[in-house]
Chain A
């Protein structure tokens, strides 16, 4: 189902217009209070708004929530505490009139798809965070919704579980081809999940585009600072080293980067994915450089350290305690490590 918003607004969201293609995952990113959850609630028809919402070209404003054919995984799962797991998952089907063995079969299938068949008779209060999220997901998709809304569904689970759930979700979404809006404030999650990202700030859309577009061509400082002012460099030359890996010349230094085979235009890495060491770090000498600390800036709980490598300036985010432990200060020489796996490249077809 294609979803279109035309000038949708209320007290929090202001003049939002966007189009979500059928089968696409659009990530809605932004800081806390940006209006992400409000936007989802508007699309679900849960709160009043002005403007227009169209599903597959048809106006949907008059439709109550139960008629919009939406699956919604809330931030707090919101499983019905008085219903067992199977009853929670069965709920959307019961509403549609399913009953008896046919109903139970479908529920069994959905739980098995999520890998939680053994939770059948349990009450939500006895589930772990990850289990509850899977149940919520199963409940959201069992009714074959045309649109799936996910509000920070993995924020309450540990990193490992979140990663597994993301992969699982993406697989199901691709299989079922459900148009999905995924809200997150986690950048890594946004980059992993989204076909496109819509960045929301103070109720307005700052930019919609692919993760690379937002990273490499931020529309404004707001977008750029949201991504933590990443370190972005033009690629002056590249050399393929092996399948999936290339060496790029960034002027002051060269980097080994992931490579899909196309022409690399830009290279970026986030400040918090760069590590510093006062002494030569152990291990292979890949993406390790010597530089000098030019500036140390304290911004709220983080410390931004600017390191000069040749003519280039790299920004590194560090915790104050680490800084003190390493006795780093302005003017001191330091080793910079940029792990391969955190480097993102902006690639284009030859001839572009």
Chain B
């Protein structure tokens, strides 16, 4: 706890320096932390910030959920069926390197502007990493451990559920942790370009109105959302993977 408090001191100093600088060089396009804080309170009170954050969060959650589910299922299929892996790998290796936002123009044409668009983008952003992490996680489970399970009486299904998947889980979680932040960045971009609601749209509108204070509030909220999303997965890792710290594959 003390360590965390010590860590706040540099932040406090930075805020102080910022405020001082602004007071010495006032300009409407450079709001100080005081101004930003007041704007933050105003946006909270009016509900605008809460609604924007809620809408963005739903999109992130749905997109991540769908992308993770499908990515996991397909990764599982490819990891356990060699023929499926051989058949799908070439296609997936072409699609995987395309950045999620690269799909935006195509998706706008195919899906139109609406809720489906950001969810589809986040789906793409999380689907491939989860798929590949699941596949890699499964393949990295030593064959001998699978043999050990079979010899001890476990069927193929039980071996998959009780040995392979738990051992592949660290890889899957790592992928998710990295993608959680990416999902927020993706939703921000899609809202700025195409959707009239959410944190991204709020920032874009603020840019049009030259409200730098609103932009800074949105950036802060976004940063916090990314941070918290990653922390959720770190917490999950710590809870579920106590055994992993010293075991090496």
Binding site for B on A (CB under 8 A): 41, 44, 46, 64-66, 68, 70-72, 74, 76, 78, 80-83, 91-92, 95-96, 123-126, 139-140, 143
Q: Report whether A95 and B154 are in contact in the complex, using a CB–CB cutoff of 8 Å.
A: yes
Task: With A74-B144, A76-B144 as known contacts, state yes or no: A81 contacts B243, CB within 8 Å.
Answer: yes
Residues of chain B contacted by A96 (CB below 8 angstroms): 153
Q: How far does the alpha carbon of A140 sit from the alpha carbon of B235 in the complex, in Å?
A: 35
Task: With A66-B151, A66-B154, A91-B152 as known contacts, state yes or no: A78 contacts B246, CB within 8 Å.
Answer: no
Residues of chain B contacted by A46 (CB below 8 angstroms): 147, 150-151
Residue B181 at the A interface, CB < 8 A?
no
Residues of chain B contacted by A74 (CB below 8 angstroms): 144, 147-148
Q: Report whether B150 and A123 are in contact in the complex, using a CB–CB cutoff of 8 Å.
A: no
| Residue on A nearest B152 in the bound complex, by CB | A92
Q: Report whether A44 and B147 are in contact in the complex, using a CB–CB cutoff of 8 Å.
A: yes
Q: Report whether A82 and B150 are in contact in the complex, using a CB–CB cutoff of 8 Å.
A: no
Residues of chain B contacted by A80 (CB below 8 angstroms): 145, 148-149, 163
Chain B 143-178 interface 0/1 with A at a Cβ cutoff of 8 Å (1 = within): 011011111111100100011001100000000000
Q: Report whether B152 and A95 are in contact in the complex, using a CB–CB cutoff of 8 Å.
A: yes
| Residue on A nearest B167 in the bound complex, by CB | A82
Count of A-B contacts judged by CB separation below 8 Å: 72
| Residue on A nearest B170 in the bound complex, by CB | A82
Q: How far does the alpha carbon of A105 sit from the alpha carbon of B245 in the complex, in Å?
A: 30
Residues of chain B contacted by A124 (CB below 8 angstroms): 243, 247
Task: With A78-B145, A95-B158 as known contacts, state yes or no: A65 contacts B243, CB within 8 Å.
Answer: no
Q: How far does the alpha carbon of A139 sit from the alpha carbon of B155 in the complex, in Å?
A: 17
B contact residues, total (Cβ < 8 Å): 23
**Minimum CB–CB distance for A187 against chain B, Å:** 26
Mostly helix, strand, loop or mixed at chain A's interface? mixed
Q: Report whether B163 and A125 are in contact in the complex, using a CB–CB cutoff of 8 Å.
A: no
| Additional 10 contacts, C-beta under 8 A, given A71-B152, A81-B247, A91-B154 | A41-B147, A65-B147, A72-B151, A78-B147, A82-B166, A82-B244, A83-B243, A95-B152, A95-B154, A125-B246
Residue B27 at the A interface, CB < 8 A?
no
Residues of chain A contacted by B166 (CB below 8 angstroms): 82
Q: How far does the alpha carbon of A76 sit from the alpha carbon of B145 in the complex, in Å?
A: 10
Q: How far does the alpha carbon of A76 sit from the alpha carbon of B144 in the complex, in Å?
A: 9
Residues of chain B contacted by A68 (CB below 8 angstroms): 151
Residues of chain A contacted by B239 (CB below 8 angstroms): none
Task: With A78-B144, A81-B167, A82-B166 as known contacts, state yes or no: A65 contacts B246, CB within 8 Å.
Answer: no
| Residue on A nearest B144 in the bound complex, by CB | A78
**Minimum CB–CB distance for A127 against chain B, Å:** 11
Q: Report whether A66 and B153 are in contact in the complex, using a CB–CB cutoff of 8 Å.
A: yes
Q: How far does the alpha carbon of A336 sit from the alpha carbon of B56 in the complex, in Å?
A: 87
Mind listing 6 A-B residue pairs with CB under 8 Å? A65-B147, A65-B150, A72-B148, A74-B147, A83-B243, A96-B153
Q: Report whether B145 and A70 are in contact in the complex, using a CB–CB cutoff of 8 Å.
A: no
Task: With A78-B144, A80-B145, A80-B163 as known contacts, state yes or no: A65 contacts B247, CB within 8 Å.
Answer: no
Q: How far does the alpha carbon of A95 sit from the alpha carbon of B244 in the complex, in Å?
A: 24
Residues of chain B contacted by A71 (CB below 8 angstroms): 151-152
Residue B82 at the A interface, CB < 8 A?
no
Residues of chain B contacted by A66 (CB below 8 angstroms): 150-155
